[in-house]
């Protein structure tokens, strides 16, 4: 039996692009992943809307740094250890105009999270866990998100190249979601039920290869 930690943002939490409410557990991609892998495995959801890779958010943070993935990752891993695999799916919120960072910066932020996980003792018997890095697909911000993400669409198309680079450097498997799915056209950022179904299935295939489950 494998224990798998899913560490992400609102697209792991399950924000519905139509309503902003949370999609049902069985609809969210971690729930779809659980369905594909079977009930012998434990899926731990750790999604937080607004979470970044390594950046404090001066506007959306309720407490200083609470959206910063790097700041929360270590206590999160300590809380849920031991686990066999952590899936890191972050980077979309880093595209907000207020951060003014490049696609390379975002990928290197994700690489820092991978490095923290691979340097931890949170896997079975105090070993490091396996890590799967997931690159977000290109976005097309619409509606209320258009202003917050000005210029992000063009930048988001550069993420796959940069995530591929840092994953190779870290020796970490990568899933490029842009090859499989796109956000809902409603808000251009979040996935509908069909998108979550695709993500869960694609990630399940990668997990099966990694863990032989």
> What confidence score (pLDDT) does residue 64 get?
82
- The mean per-residue pLDDT over the stretch 127-151 comes to 97
In this prediction, residue 61 has a pLDDT band, given cuts at 50, 70 and 90, of confident
131, β-bridge pairs: 86
Domain count within the chain: 1
Angle between helices 193-211 and 29-37 (to 10 degrees): 50
CA angle 94, 139, 46 (to 5 degrees): 55
- Min mean pLDDT across 61-65, 110-114, 174-178 is at 61-65
In this prediction, residue 5 has a pLDDT band, given cuts at 50, 70 and 90, of very high
In this prediction, residue 196 has a pLDDT band, given cuts at 50, 70 and 90, of very high
> Does the pLDDT of residue 58 top 80, yes or no?
yes
| Whether residue 82 has a cis bond before it, omega within 30° of 0 | yes
Query: How far apart are the C-alpha atoms of 57 and 68, rounded to whole Å?
Result: 7
In this prediction, residue 65 has a pLDDT band, given cuts at 50, 70 and 90, of confident
> Does the pLDDT of residue 34 top 80, yes or no?
yes
Provide the 8-state DSSP code for 23.
P
* Residue pLDDT, tens place only, 148-189: 999 999 999 999 999 999 999 999 999 999 999 999 999 999
Tokens of 8: 């992400």
> Does the pLDDT of residue 44 top 80, yes or no?
yes
CATH of the domain at 115: 3.40.50.1110
Domain that holds residue 98: 3-211
């Amino acid at each position: 039996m494998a224990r798998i930690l899913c560490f992400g943002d609102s697209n792991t939490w399950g924000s519905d692009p139509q309503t902003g409410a949370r999609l049902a557990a069985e609809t969210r991609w971690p729930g779809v992943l659980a369905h594909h892998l079977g009930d012998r495995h434990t899926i731990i959801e750790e999604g937080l809307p607004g979470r970044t890779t390594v950046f404090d958010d001066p506007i959306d943070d309720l407490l200083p740094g609470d959206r910063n993935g790097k700041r929360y990752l270590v206590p999160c891993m300590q809380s849920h250890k031991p686990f066999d695999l952590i899936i890191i799916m972050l980077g979309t919120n880093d595209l907000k105009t207020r951060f003014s960072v490049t696609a390379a910066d975002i990928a290197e932020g994700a690489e820092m999270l991978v490095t923290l996980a691979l340097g931890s003792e949170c896997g079975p018997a105090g070993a490091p866990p396996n890590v799967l890095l997931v690159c977000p697909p290109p976005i097309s911000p619409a509606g209320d998100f258009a202003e917050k993400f000005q210029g992000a669409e063009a930048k988001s198309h550069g993420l796959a190249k940069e995530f591929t680079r840092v994953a190779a450097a870290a020796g970490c498997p990568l899933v490029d979601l842009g090859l499989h799915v796109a956000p809902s056209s409603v808000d251009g950022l979040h996935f509908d039920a069909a998108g979550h179904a695709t993500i869960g299935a694609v990630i399940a295939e990668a997990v099966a290869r990694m863990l032989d489950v």
